[in-house]
Amino acid sequence: MTTPPERPPFHGQSYGHEPDAPYTYGGYGRHAYGGTRTGTPPGSGASGPAPQPPHAPEALGRTHPHASVAPHQPPYVRATFAPEPDTPRPAAPRTRDRYLDLLRTLALLRVVVYHTFGWAWLTLIFPSMGVMFALAGSLMARSLKRPAAQVLRSRMRRLLLPLWLYGVFVLTALHVQGWRPPKGDTGEQAWFWLRLACWVVPLGSPSFPWEIGDEGGLLEQSWAVEAAGPLWYLRAYLWFVLLSPLLLRAFRRLPWATLLAPLGLTAVVGTGLVEVPGQTGEALTDFAVYGSCWVLGFAHHDRFFHARLPRYVVPSVAPLLMGAGLWWASGHLGPDGWDLNDIPLAQALWSFGFCALLLQVSPSWERLPGPLQRFDGAITLANARAMTLYLWHEAALLAVVPLLDLAWEIPLIGDSPTLSDGLETTYMFWMFVFVWPLILLAVLAFGWIEDLAARRRPRLLPIRS
């Protein structure tokens, strides 16, 4: 009685573990980009320099606008004033942006709720996968201030080590149940081993059996499909990471074209206008649907919209894109109705507009505001163990089913039609209740791998920042 994995039929949420520094950029206000501040105030009549307010550039230790710009800045970001070489300013401490941490926690919570209940309307209320890709894109843009090769190694290590640990358990269970390479045809064998290698480096969809085990066994025969369900996200994430140095360079040269190109690609490959078969088509569609969200993370990091557009533009245009997504979805409903996971173009437009609004607000909290402080430990834990939670929540849902079925063995429930029917009616609710202890158990048992991947001291339950 498990629900299908969070992936549309055309599919085969380590990301964002680095803390976010407060956003600092040359100059102040909109004048920080391309503006100049020269001359004396009109009508001053003073022969010397005019008095400067406390917040003036000179008071901040900044030089004339013709000073050099840091090489990592995009061409549309022209810092009006650069630090004077003889008065270096201390680097801002690297603190976590708790607003982004909150968004990531909500995205992970929504994934678990969706996989438990399968409610299609959840894809409209909070498009978690688009949010996760947008947050990861923002963090990737910040990381790429360092050499690209170093960043790619770090990101791949954070992605692959948790995947390998997860894969050991899944593949061992499949082997125990009798899953073996196909016999006979050499081409089929080669394809099997090639896809099996995607459990090591998920450049494509990994191989798994659609059915395995005995009917009426401890696990449903389709359990391998659900266990492999989260891996489409890892495949898409890996491709975004590998292409990020080129994508970020393209964004800073041609920002609008790079930002909107994935939406155009989705209109081609995600609507049936051009069909790309097989695993290649699935990977290309994933890339197209969520590519604009990833690049939107670049824009968020670079403060692109704040530099280029009046503040009312994004809140005005984003709902139009979301409305276009709903309009398209209304005429292309899938087998689950309004589930946007079945409607690529609607998913792309809705997720892009939704994430644009979330990142436009972006208050950049160093601490959670008062009402949310009671959840500080849970939010910290979810972000420190995001990869573990995302990978293992499906396994926890698979495990909770046979455990919950044991309730019918209790005479008080099994012999009572009222209690038995009540349990069946509220089965999904109890799944949601009891899956969290199993997820916490997975975090305790396997979460330490994320600390090793990030080269941190392993912690059992990281609930403090």
Q: Which amino acid is at 25?
A: Y
* Most confidently predicted of 15-24, 49-58, 140-149, 201-210: 140-149
User: Nearest-CA neighbor of 218 among 438, 425, 405?
Assistant: 405
Quick one: how far is CA 247 from the chain centroid? 17
pLDDT score of 62: 36
The residue ranges of every structural domain in the chain are 54-87, 98-364, 371-453
- CA separation for the pair 167, 275 (Å, rounded): 31
Type of residue found at 339 = D
- Higher-pLDDT residue of 367 and 37 is 367
Name the band, by pLDDT with cuts 50, 70 and 90, for residue 189.
confident
Measured CA distances, 137 to 51, 186, 251, 259, 353 (Å):
43, 40, 12, 12, 16
Nearest to 347 by CA among 262, 415, 417, 281: 262
Structure confidence at residue 74 as a pLDDT band (50, 70, 90): low
Query: Which string of b and e fits 75-100 if b means at least 16 CB within 10 Å?
Result: ebbbbbbbbeeeeeeeeeeeebbbbb
Res 188: pLDDT: 83
| Residues belonging to the chain | 465
Measured between alpha carbons, how far is 213 from 171 in angstroms, rounded to an integer? 14
Q: Which of 218, 207, 116 has the alpha carbon at shortest distance from 170?
A: 207
Reference 234, options 294, 159, 168; nearest CA is 159
For 181, other C-beta atoms within 10 Å of its C-beta total 11
Q: What is the DSSP string of 27-64?
A: SSGGGGBT----S--TT---SSPPP--TTSTGGGTB--
The whole-number average pLDDT for the span 235-259 is: 97
For residues 107-113, average pLDDT: 97
Give the per-residue pLDDT at 420: 92
Residue 64 confidence (pLDDT) above 60: no
Helices (H), 118-178: 122-125, 128-143, 148-176
Q: Any idea which of 36-40, 159-163, 380-384, 457-461 has the lowest mean pLDDT?
A: 36-40
Please tell me the predicted confidence (pLDDT) of residue 190: 87
The rounded distance, in Å, linking the Cα atoms of 194 and 147 is 31
Across the range 410-424, mean pLDDT stands at 90
- Taking each helix axis from N to C end, the angle separating 231-253 and 255-269, rounded to the nearest 10 degrees, works out to 140
Name which of 354, 241, 375, 366 is nearest 296 in CA terms: 354
- pLDDT of 219 reads 84
DSSP notation for 215-246: TTSSS-TTHHHHHTTTHHHHHHHHHHHHHHHH
Token pair 């609710």 in the structure block, residue: 429
Q: Who's near 418: CB < 8 A, 6+ residues apart?
A: none
Tens-place pLDDT, residues 333-358: 999 999 999 999 999 999 999 999 99
d(CA 125, CA 328): 17
pLDDT at 130: 97
